[in-house]
Structure 1
Amino acid sequence: HLLHKALRTVLGTHVEQAGSYVSADRLRFDFTHFAAMTADEIKEVERLVNDAIFASYDVHTDEMSIDAARNRGAMALFGEKYGEVVRVVDMGGYSIELCGGAHLKNTAQVGSFKILSENGVAAGVRRIEAVTGKEALKHYQAQEDEIKEICRLVKSTPDKLLSRLEQLLAEQKETAKELEKLKAKMAGGAADEMLSGKVEIGGVAVLAAEVKDMDGNALRTLGDQLKQKLGSGVVVLASGKDGKVNLMAMATDDVVKKGVHAGNIIKAAAAVCGGGGGGRPNMAQAGGKDASKIADALEKAKAVVAEQLG
C-alpha cells in the first residue's frame, strides 16, 4: 500500500497496481508505467515509503458501502470487482485503499524498506522487487561487507573510496595511453623490416600489413612513421584488438593525384571484416568485427589500389 501510494506520488496518478506478491520481509510489485524509473525516482519512492514507516501510522480497517469508500478517497486495486460492502484500509490518511488482505497494525512494524530492482516485465508494466525489516538490514550489511572488501583491495577507507577509485581509473587510463605509445614505438622500430614487405602496384609502392594488438591511435602513429619512411606510396594497416578490428589507410599526396583515395580503400577493406568506415583521400580509418578476415581485407585493399590506378 505504501509503495503504491509513493509510486503514484512520484510517477503520476496513471500508475496502477498490476499484480503483487507479499511475504513477511520481501515483496514483488507490478505496476503500470511507460518508462524505466530513473535513479532519482527510485530514491524518492524509497524515501516516501520509509517516511511513512517512520511516521508510525496506525492501520485501521473499516467496512462500509462502496459509495462511502469512494467519498473517503479510497482507491480500488487493478480492476477488482467489489460488492456493495467493501473493506477500507487506512494508514494514517497517507494511504487509503480497498483491500481484503491481512495487514500490520502500525506502519512502523515494517521496520525499513529497500528497493532491490526495477525492470520491465511486459509492455507498459514495470516490476519492483524490495525487502523490508530484517531482510533490508541483511541487504545493507551485505553491501557494507562488499565495500569493506573493495576498500581492502584498493587500499582505501570507506570515506575515501570514491576518490581512490577515481585516482585508480585515471592512472589506468594514463597507463593505457603509455602502453599504446610504447607499442607504436616498438612497431616503429621494426618499420624498416615491415617496409621490406611492400609491393608495387601500377608503379606505386604499397605496404599492406597486419600488426598485433593496436588501437586506432597507435595505428595512425605507426602509419605516419611508415609513410614518412616510404616517401611515396600507400600504407594500409590492420590490427585485431579486444575482439574488434582496427584499420587505417594513408596515401602520400603524389599518389592521391594519381587517383588513389584512402577513404575508398579502407571502406572496401572494412567491409570484408564486417565493418565500415571511410575518410579523406590521404588518410582514413575504419573498424571491423571479424579479425579472422584481416588477411583478406588487406588483399582487398591492394585490389582497390590497383583499380584506382587503372
Structure 2
Amino acid sequence: EIKGVESLVNEKIQACIPVSTKVTSLEQGIKEGAVAIFEEKYGEEVRVITIGDFSKELCGGIHVHNTGEIGFFKVISEGSVASGMRRIEAVTSESALEYVQKNEELLAEIEELFGTSRHELAQHIGKLQESIKQKEKECKSLRQKLINLKNKHKEEKTHQINGISVLTKRIEGLSGSELRDLADNLKQTSHSDVIILSTVFNDKVLLVTVVNENLTDRLKAKEIIDEIAPVIGGGGGGRPDFAQAGGTKTDKLDQAVEKGLSFIKERLKK
C-alpha cells in the first residue's frame, strides 16, 4: 500500500497539475466536496486547495502553483493515529533526494560489510540468522551439560523441618531461565517437599523456590520469596508452588537462604 501511495503521488507530481487556492466558509468548502479531517479544528474561514480533478481538501500549508514544483515524494513512516485512521509522514523535493541518497550510502556500507551485492543481501542475512540460531542451540546445549555437571558435583543441603524435607542449593553462574529449568528438573527428580535454589549471575542474585503442591495449603512459595527478597535488595513474585526473586546484594545471598529456612520453621509451627 505504501508503494502504491508513493507511485500515485509521484505520478500526479510528474503530471504538473495546476493547484488553485481559495478562501471560503467552512460550510461552503464542505459543500464543494473538500475533504476535512474530523480531528482538526477549523475556523469560520478555511483555505480550500484544489488539485485538478484529483483532490480537493481543506489545508493551510500548500505553497505551490502546480504539482511539478514538489519534485519528488518519498514516504518515510506511517502509523495509526485513531481507529480506522493512519498517518503518513513523507519528505519531498531536495529533502526526499537527500533521504534516498543517505539510504543508498547506508546500503553501500552494508554491502561492503557483508561482502555481497544488494540483490543478495536478504538471502545472505537469512543464512546468517539460521547460523546464529544453530550456534545458540549449540551454546544452550553445552550450557545445559555444564549445568548438569555442576548440579552433580555441587554440594547440596537437605533440612528436615517438622517432618518436611527442604533442599537448598547454590550453583554459580546460572541465568534466570537456567535456574528455573533446574528447579523444574529437581521438582521431578528430587524427593524434597521444598526446594530453594540460588545463584549469582552478572552481579545479580537470583532465587527460586518450589513447594510441593500437596503442601501449599500450609506453606506457599510466594510467601517464602516475599520474606527473603528484601534481604538481597530486590523483589519477586510467583505462585503458591513456584516463585522467584532477583536482587543486587550478592553478599547477602546466604543470609537470605537462612531467613527462608527460618520462615519455613515458623510457618510450619502454626
Q: Which amino acid aligns with 2:43?
A: E
Cα distance per residue 1:12-41 (max 9 Å; x no partner): xxxxxxxxxxxxxxxxxxxxxxxxxxxx6x
Instruction: Count matched residues.
Output: 255
Q: C-alpha distance in 2, partners of 1:199/1:147?
A: 60
Aligned-residue Cα RMSD (Å) equals 4.5
Q: Which amino acid aligns with 1:290?
A: G
Give 2:124's aligned residue: 164
Kindly indicate whether residue 73 of structure 2 is the aligned counterpart of residue 113 of structure 1. Answer: yes
Q: C-alpha distance in 1, partners of 2:71/2:144?
A: 60
**Do the aligned partners of residues 101 and 244 (structure 1) sit closer, same or farther apart at CA in structure 2, a change above 3 Å counting?**
same
Kindly indicate whether residue 151 of structure 2 is the aligned counterpart of residue 194 of structure 1. Answer: no
TM-score, normalized by length of structure 2? 0.67
TM-score, normalized by length of structure 1? 0.60
Q: C-alpha distance in 2, partners of 1:96/1:162?
A: 41
Cα distance per residue 1:37-92 (max 9 Å; x no partner): xxx6x66654553343244322234678988755543457841343xxx8754211
Give 1:80's aligned residue: 43
Percent of pairs with identical residues: 28
Give 1:207's aligned residue: 168
Q: C-alpha distance in 1, partners of 2:198/2:75?
A: 48
Q: Which amino acid aligns with 1:146?
A: L
Q: Which amino acid aligns with 1:161?
A: L
SS of the residue corresponding to residue 275 of structure 1 reads: strand
Q: C-alpha distance in 2, partners of 1:126/1:277?
A: 40
Give 2:181's aligned residue: 220
Q: Which amino acid aligns with 2:159?
A: E
**Do the aligned partners of residues 128 and 244 (structure 1) sit closer, same or farther apart at CA in structure 2, a change above 3 Å counting?**
farther
In structure 1, the gaps of 5 or more residues are: 1-39
User: 1:198: how far off?
Assistant: 1.6
Q: Which amino acid aligns with 1:167?
A: K
SS of the residue corresponding to residue 190 of structure 1 reads: helix
**Do the aligned partners of residues 299 and 109 (structure 1) sit closer, same or farther apart at CA in structure 2, a change above 3 Å counting?**
farther
Q: C-alpha distance in 2, partners of 1:245/1:45?
A: 53
Q: Which has the higher contact order (CA 8 A, sep 6+)?
A: 1
SS of the residue corresponding to residue 148 of structure 2 reads: helix
In structure 2, the gaps of 5 or more residues are: none
User: 1:216: how far off?
Assistant: 1.5
Matches within 5 A, 1:50-199: 50-61=10-21, 71-74=31-34, 78-82=41-45, 88-97=48-57, 103-117=63-77, 129-195=89-155, 197-199=156-158
